[in-house]
């Protein structure tokens, strides 16, 4: 216990809150970069053959990018809650706030990227039906939004 005391001093609450920020931003960021990455590879391959489809390919690519944004917003909100005299229990609570958006972002980002790649195949073969692919991909977004909303409520209420 002495060692922990020397390491963190009296700022244990702030440390835990900071870990919450890290989890919210990093986990959802990993999810988004994976999703945007694989969708981007497919979009680049498509643009090589049909450059005129750049705009719609970009929409499909950007869909998995929102998770990282949600994590970023929650991270900022947690940051605003941190104060020098906060209790350790408050720190724990803020750490937990980071988890819903982080974990849902981590798993939904990559999965949404896969659906976007499949949507890119619609764009390649039947461009008139691309919107359907965008909708399918947006469905995965729901679960990232749920995580985001829960994190948001936890911090606001």
Partner 1 sequence: MKDTAYGSSNVLIRVYENNLLNRGHYDRMLAADSFEDAVNVLRETPYRNDVDQIKEDKNYDTMLMNELHQTFDELFEISPNKALIELFGLRYAYHNLKVLFKEKFTDQDLDHLFIPIGRYDISELRQAVRTGVSDVLPQHYMDSIHEVQEDHDQYQKVQAVDIILDRRFFTHMRALADETNEPKIPEMVENFIDFQNLSTLIRAMKQDRTRNFLTTILSSSGSIPKEELVDIASRDLSSATSTLQNTKYRSIIEASVDSDTNEISPVKLDFETDNAYMLMMRDAKLQSFGPLPIVAYIYAKETEVKNLRLILSGKENGVSADGIRERMRLNYV
Query: Quick one: 10 exposed, middle or buried, by C-beta within 10 A (0-12, 13-18, 19+)?
Result: exposed
Residue 58 sits in the site that holds partner 1 (CB under 8 A): no
Looking at 5, 9, 50, 129, which residue binds partner 1 (CB under 8 A)? 50
Question: Rounded CA gap, 87 and 90, in Å?
Answer: 5
Q: Which helix (H) or strand (E) holds 1?
A: none
Task: Outline where DSSP puts E strands in 3-157.
Answer: none
- Contact between 38 and partner 1 by CB under 8 A: the answer reads yes
Q: Which stretch binds partner 1 (CB under 8 A): 62-70, 74-82, 115-123, 147-155?
A: 115-123
Determine if 46 is a binding residue for partner 1 (CB under 8 A): yes
Interface with partner 1 by CB under 8 A: which residues? 38, 41-42, 44-46, 48-50, 114, 117-118, 120-121, 124-125
């Amino acid at each position: 216990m002495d060692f922990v005391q020397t390491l963190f001093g009296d700022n244990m609450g702030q440390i835990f809150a900071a870990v919450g920020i890290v989890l919210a931003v990093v986990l959802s960021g990993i999810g988004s970069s994976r999703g945007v990455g694989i969708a981007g590879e497919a979009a680049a391959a498509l643009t090589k053959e049909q450059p005129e489809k750049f705009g719609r390919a970009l929409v499909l690519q950007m869909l998995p990018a929102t998770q990282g944004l949600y994590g970023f917003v929650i991270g900022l909100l947690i940051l605003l809650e941190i104060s020098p005299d906060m209790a350790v229990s408050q720190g724990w609570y803020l750490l937990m706030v980071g988890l819903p958006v982080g974990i849902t972002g981590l798993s939904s980002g990559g999965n949404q990227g896969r659906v976007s790649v499949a949507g890119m195949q619609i764009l390649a073969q039947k461009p008139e039906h691309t919107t359907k692919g965008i909708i399918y991909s947006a469905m995965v977004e729901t679960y990232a939004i749920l995580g985001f909303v829960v994190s948001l409520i936890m911090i606001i209420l």
